[in-house]
Amino acid sequence: MEKLFDLAIVGGGYAGLAAANRAAQLGLEAVVLERGAEEAYPCNSRYAGGVLHVSYHNVTDPVPDLTRAIVEIGEGWTRPELASAMAGSSARAVDWLIAENTKAGSQYLQKLNIAKIASGGHSQGSISTFAFAGMDTRLTTTIHVAGGSFDGNGYRNLKKPTLYIGGSGDTLALSNTKRDYENTNNVPVFLTVIEGASHTSAARDGWTPIVAWLRWHLGDEVQRKSMFIGANCDFCTGKFVSQSKGW
Ligand SMILES: Cc1cc2nc3c(=O)[nH]c(=O)nc-3n(C[C@H](O)[C@H](O)[C@H](O)COP(=O)(O)OP(=O)(O)OC[C@H]3O[C@@H](n4cnc5c(N)ncnc54)[C@H](O)[C@@H]3O)c2cc1C
């Protein structure tokens, strides 16, 4: 039988695409079989908050702690050997990414600036960003979209300027997002509530302030500050109902 590929991978989410990339790096010919036909086929990876975490724990935590966290959150459904495999691989993923930044021939060569790091996420990803902010002193800023902390204490972990984004139609997280803003008294903070945005749409409705914020804080485009702070700020008019303090 004619050999067409070395490896067939089912599913084009993070897991499948990462496996295919790694296989290609190791010299194998891989094919990804994805059942979604549309260009932006739905999968969990497309909706993820973007923060790398393992059951809301830092991926570099000790393997037994991560394994325990995965098993606990699984309410009896978790297969311990898979939890252990995931816990053991997570920190390696971060090490791999940083190593790729300096590796000759890598497509990520010198594309990562690890001196300036933003962390952010949507919904659960926002909540885990509070945890991340408490653990990682290298962060330059954090962004929290449609995800307030459950106990109102998430702000205690913040150390750097913080962006909160909510949606006026978000019945899940808006009240907690507003409470986080009210509670935050330790860092400069900006909150915008986007008129008409839902829990889900807040992330895409908020992409213009998110990009401007990152260009300001990571790209040193200090002129972007006036888009957020001051009488005529861009993200304080129209659909953006905003407040700021601590600047
Ligand atoms: C709203 C939301 C926010 C999240 N936030 C975070 C976060 O901030 N941080 C975090 O670490 N995790 C987060 N997660 C979890 C994270 O998104 C998932 O753990 C991760 O994306 C799973 O990746 P995956 O590749 O295993 O699955 P998926 O991304 O779901 O990919 C599976 C793919 O397989 C395809 N498929 C399924 N069956 C077949 C078949 N029979 N044949 C062919 N193709 C098939 C599907 O169409 C899909 O494209 C979040 C999840 C959601 C929903």
pLDDT at 49: 65
State mean pLDDT over 44-51. 77
Q: Whose CA is nearest to atom 42 of ligand 1?
A: 35
The per-residue DSSP string of 163-200 comes to EEEEETT-TTTHHHHHHHHHH--SS-EEEEEETT--TT
Say if residue 127 is in the same domain as residue 180.
yes
Residue 226 has pLDDT above 90, yes or no: yes
pLDDT at 50: 65
Q: Which residues contact 125 (CB under 8 A, 6 or more apart)?
A: 48, 49, 50, 51, 53, 145, 147
On average, the pLDDT of the chain sits at 90
Q: What are the two backbone dihedrals, phi and then psi, of residue 106, each rounded to the nearest 5 degrees?
A: -75, 140
Say if residue 122 is in the same domain as residue 241.
yes
Domain total for the chain? 3
pLDDT at 155: 95
State mean pLDDT over 34-49. 89
State mean pLDDT over 160-177. 97
Q: Which domain holds residue 86?
A: 51-112
- Closest Cα to residue 122, out of 150, 143, 141, 145? 145
The atom number, within ligand 1, closest to the CA of 200 reads 1
pLDDT at 28: 96
Residue 114 has pLDDT above 80, yes or no: no
Last residue of a domain, one of 68, 97, 112: 112
Say if residue 91 is in the same domain as residue 185.
no
Say if residue 124 is in the same domain as residue 231.
yes
State mean pLDDT over 107-117. 84
pLDDT at 91: 73
Say if residue 169 is in the same domain as residue 101.
no
Choosing from 44, 57, 58, 119 the residue with most ligand 1 atoms within 8 A of its CB, the one to mutate for a pocket test is 44
Q: How many residues does the chain have?
A: 247
Say if residue 13 is in the same domain as residue 41.
yes
Q: Which residues contact 238 (CB under 8 A, 6 or more apart)?
A: 195
Last residue of a domain, one of 112, 138, 155: 112
Say if residue 230 is in the same domain as residue 141.
yes
Say if residue 104 is in the same domain as residue 153.
no
State mean pLDDT over 4-8. 95
Q: Is the CB of 93 under 6 A from ligand 1?
A: no
Say if residue 125 is in the same domain as residue 172.
yes
Say if residue 42 is in the same domain as residue 81.
no
State mean pLDDT over 47-54. 73
What does the buried/exposed string (b/e) look like for 51-80 if buried means 16 or more CB atoms within 10 Å of the residue's CB?
bbbbbebbbebebeebbbbbbeeeeeebee
Residue 178 belongs to a domain with what CATH number?
A: 3.40.50.1820
Record the tokens describing residue 198, joined without a space: 């839902």
The percent of residues above 90 in pLDDT, for the chain, comes to 58
State mean pLDDT over 94-122. 85
Residue 128 has pLDDT above 80, yes or no: no
State mean pLDDT over 31-57. 86
Contact 16, 34 (CB under 8 A): yes
The verdict on pTM exceeding 0.75 is no
Q: What is the pLDDT of residues 189-208, one digit of tens each?
A: 999 999 999 998 998 899 99
pLDDT at 51: 66
**Euclidean distance between CA atoms 214 and 150, whole angstroms:** 26
Q: Is the CB of 56 under 6 A from ligand 1?
A: no
Contact 232, 193 (CB under 8 A): no
Between the CA of 150 and the centroid of ligand 1 the distance, in Å, is: 24
Last residue of a domain, one of 95, 112, 129: 112
State mean pLDDT over 149-170. 95
Q: What is the pLDDT of residues 170-192, one digit of tens each?
A: 999 999 999 999 999 999 999 99
Say if residue 6 is in the same domain as residue 78.
no
Say if residue 131 is in the same domain as residue 183.
yes
